[in-house]
Amino acid sequence: MSAHLTDKVILITGATSGMGRATAERIAAEGAKVVLAARGKEAGDALVASIRGGGGEATFVPADVTVEADSAELVRQAVSRYGRLDGVFNNVGAATAPGPVTDVDADAWHAELALNLTSVFYGLKHQIPALRASGGGAIVNNASVTGVQGQSGFSAYAAAKHGVIGLTRSAALETAETAIRINALVTGGVDTPLLRGGMGPTPDEALRAAGAMHPLGRIGRPEEIAAFVAFLLSDEAAFITGAALAIDGGMTAA
């Protein structure tokens, strides 16, 4: 594996499973120093041990990124431990308030936006100054195909993910002259614990149902997302900013 991220300090939220974990393992293998953020300390410590066992460098910071103070502390600890911050993958997100818009509880609506959109706002607010102090860098925000198209029964999630893309584009324009690049992923279905548990009575049925929604006939693998994020965080993607980039098995082409 190449070493495009050697010695870069990269922060990942939602880092202990699915796309976050795969990205942490990928960029650590490419030479980055990885700051892992999630709520579960046991899973975080185990991932740190695994990365270090493979010759990489990582540290874990327990955090709830829907809390601004936690988002600020993540950045502070990354800079305190490694002296700088070069990149971020804002990966936290989940559909937590399904149902017709007329049936969604107001508290559930606000919780959905807090998890999927406000968490990205808090992150950018504190990550951008740290990247600026390091001379520039890259941020990748994990949106969704639901960020560019509607989805019946997921109005809150769609609203939040549309917001992530708008926030990404606006922040990219605000930071372009400071050598900071900010992009969003338009992800399709990916084989994660969340998807396996949320789309069918059994994991196998969930995978079949999700795969049928994609022109390629399957869902993505976390490792495929990780490879794309690693590219966007590297200097090889130096001319890409303010973009909503599809990695969706053809879903948004239909």
Among all residues, which ones are annotated catalytic? 157
The type of residue at 156 is: A
Strand partners, 37: 13, 61
- Nearby residues of 51 by Cβ (< 8 Å), 6 or more positions away: 24, 25, 28, 34, 57, 58
Cα–Cα distance measured from residue 151 to residue 97, given in angstroms and rounded to the nearest whole number: 13
How far, rounded to the nearest angstrom, does the alpha carbon of residue 46 sit from its chain's CA centroid? Answer: 20
Please say whether the beta carbons of 159 and 113 come within 8 A: yes
Please say whether the beta carbons of 11 and 127 come within 8 A: yes
According to DSSP, the β-strands at 87-90 and 137-142 are parallel
